[in-house]
Amino acid sequence: MLSNPLLQKWKTPFATPPFDLIEISHFKPAIEETIKSASKEIKIITENPEPPSFKNTIAALDLAGYRLGDITSILFNLNSAETSRELQAVAQEVSPLLTRFSNDITLNEKLFERVKSVYGSRNSAGLDTEMLMLLEKHYRNFILGGAGLDENKKSKFREISEELSMLTVKFEENVLEDTNLFELHLTEKDDLAGLPEGVTEMASMEAKNRKKDGWVFTLHFPSYVPFMKYSDKRELREKMFRAYSSRSFHNDKNDNKSLAFKIAGLRLEIAKILGFKNYAELALGDRMADSVIKVETFLEELHQASCPAARRDLENIVKLSVEQGLTGVPERWDWAYYSEKLQKIKFDIDDEVLRPYFVLENAETAIFDLATTLYGIKFKVNNQIPLYHPEVKTWEVIDKDGTFLAVLYIDYFPRNGKNGGAWMTSYREQRSDRNKDVRPLVSIVTNFTRPTETKPSLLSFNEVTTFLHEFGHALHGMLSKCTFEGLSGTNVARDFVELPSQFMENYAYEKEWLSSWAVHYKTGARIPGDIIKRIKESATFNEGYACNRQLGFSFLDMAWHTISAPVTEKITDFESAAMAKTELFPSVEGTNMSVSFGHIFGGGYAAGYYGYKWAEVLDADAFKHFKETGIFNRETALSFRKNILEKGGTDKPMNLYLSFRGKEPSIDAFLERSGLK
């Protein structure tokens, strides 16, 4: 055990994970060993002869097992960003062990009695707001962890939760494998009609990497999205669309139909064991929208606002497709293609006009500089920090007074071992340990357009906003200034967590910011003012359709998590019924969203996908305040930092927002920004 680097003190810069020493074989024994250590810490808390108090029970619980948490964060982050069959097997093996350990805590009667005792005397114990929030969180975790159940129900709870931990990991693995299995291999130049040079060059490089002639397109976003936007070959767009939309839906070993049914059914069973009608009722208790009716009312209100605009957007696309010679009605694989053409006609703008100005390295510098302008923080490259992949980059993040704040990792480009999409995560969260401020290790993982043999990485506009989005999450983690890890950084209500990220996206539409850094990669010419004007004007282009589509995903999420009995109908029928009010195209046989919906079946957004739209209302209102005071106003920014970014979950989200804004958010700013008002 002593030779296992995961169990040793990490003699690396800022005690970062020693990726250069860690092998896959180290994970399981290290996790087994740290579970034993953490169990001893829990036993000490449980058997403490002193009367239960916040310090000896709740604060002690928050610190217990932090080493285990640090190790498992490495495992599961690698399983998302740089996985392999061997690593996936380990993740499957240890998931039930970790769930069992978690259950051992929440189902420990003596420990729960101590927690319950502290909770019962909370109003007379002289606790501050942060302490009360942590106490409420732990008490809720015990209740939702089965602490109040009888022995038979506890046994069933253990069995179900351990099974769920394995199924959700398997769900994500299947989607990744199916994504990697498909390739569109083209050998005829005619099949490249409409595709920009940069897209075909990237496809040529992919073919060479696979030791093939011609061009290879994949289902990874930097390949898939441009193909769907620009390919003139409708039959090939259809082929790509069907491949993407049927991932894990082929009745083979990667099929996720049974997993979706099983996960939803087991979540319902756990909810009922705990006394809830459905899983959504269980999950929403600590959210800003704290009931099913509040979520459904919110979604319906937005649907009523966006539906007419969505239908108008579709009519515009139908009209253009007819004008351009399409026979019949447009199908789903035509949407991106004709949308891009219409945007070009209306605003003389598209990704290929913009990409030359959005060099990845320039965007990186600009986003760092924006953080410096707003919050005074600086970024210093550190090449001594061990990496899990050579493409990862690392920085020290330093406050305006020279204080070390965090380590930031960024991993930009798609690989076969990386899940699709983009996300922020951490290898260590901020906490206070015996009055020492332990600073976080934060990571951004994306799937951006790779550089080619002749061009640097040139981002699409969507990739620029994605970068800003994930960086907003990273700021939430890096600037955290909390006492307890359970409340620090992004450990906030699920429908509040997207506020810092979506807030940052607003800068992509601001001339003052874009003109400060966006220059043509060949000529060095600054992005013209009229292009920025057109970006701003096009901000609401097809926003009705986009809002409507995202609401469809939210309705689907809520449908899966408000079932009152296991789903017995066909998965396509269930999905169609859930999304019916937002569907504008006819269904496509052989495709299904649910089976690749990793956010809700593999990630943490079960009964929470609505949170993206909820947070958009908050971020539009917050940015309106910045617009009123100046988008780079340091005083407003420091208020946002102090009241939102530093605070984590140390108070109720609405209280935090009120401290920053001075009033409750209004939906009006969101409707105005989206062009829906």
Please list the active-site residues.
Answer: 470
Q: For the chain, how many residues are written?
A: 677
- Backbone angle region of 665, left / alpha / beta, with phi > 0 → left and psi within -120 to 50 → alpha: beta
**Are β-strands 215-217 and 184-186 bridged in parallel, bridged antiparallel, or unpaired?**
antiparallel
Amino acid identity at 333: W
Question: What are 502-505's contacts with CB under 8 Å, separation 24+?
Answer: 502/469, 502/472, 502/612, 502/615, 502/616, 502/618, 502/619, 503/472, 503/619, 503/622, 503/623, 503/640, 504/468, 504/469, 504/471, 504/472, 504/475, 505/465, 505/468, 505/469, 505/472, 505/619
Query: Which of 399, 143, 407, 109 has the alpha carbon at shortest distance from 271?
Result: 143
Which amino acid appears at position 259 of this protein? Answer: L
230: number of CA atoms within 13 Å, CB side?
21
> Collapsing DSSP states into helix, strand and coil, what is residue 127?
coil
Are the C-beta atoms of residues 423 and 445 closer than 8 Å to each other? Answer: yes
Asked if residue 74 lies in contact with residue 94, where contact means CB atoms within 8 angstroms, the answer is no
Phi, psi at 330, each rounded to 5°: -65, 145
Confirm if 273 and 143 have CB atoms less than 8 A apart. no
* In the block, residue with structure tokens 């962890």: 145
Is the CB of residue 195 less than 8 Å from the CB of residue 230?
Answer: yes
Q: Report the alpha-carbon distance of residue 247 to residue 177 in Å, rounded.
A: 9
Select from 563, 665, 636 the least CA-distant residue to 264. Answer: 563
Structure tokens at 665: 């958010």
The amino acid present at 116, given as its one-letter code, is: K
**Cβ neighbours, 10 Å, residue 23:** 10
- Among the listed residues 4, 78, 76, the one whose alpha carbon sits nearest the alpha carbon of residue 388: 78
- Residue 449 · residue 345 · CB < 8 Å: no
Q: How many C-beta atoms lie closer than 10 Å to residue 307's C-beta? A: 18
Q: How far apart are CA 166 and CA 202, in angstroms?
A: 36
Residues 477 and 489 sit within 8 Å (Cβ to Cβ): yes
Please, which residues bridge with residue 437 across strands?
A: 432
Contacts 24+ apart (CB under 8 A), 651-654: 651/129, 651/130, 651/133, 652/133, 653/288, 653/492, 653/493, 653/495, 653/496, 654/288
In which residue are the tokens 């953080």 written?
Answer: 371
Q: What is the DSSP letter of 627?
A: H
**Whole-angstrom Cα distance, residue 80 to residue 169?**
10
- Distance between CA atoms of residues 254 and 61, nearest Å: 39
Q: In terms of C-beta density within 10 A (0-12 exposed, 13-18 middle, 19 or more buried), how is residue 92 classed?
A: middle
CA separation for the pair 140, 127 (Å, rounded): 17
Q: 103 — phi, psi (to 5°)? A: -65, -35
Expressed in angstroms, the distance from the first to the final Cα of the chain is 63
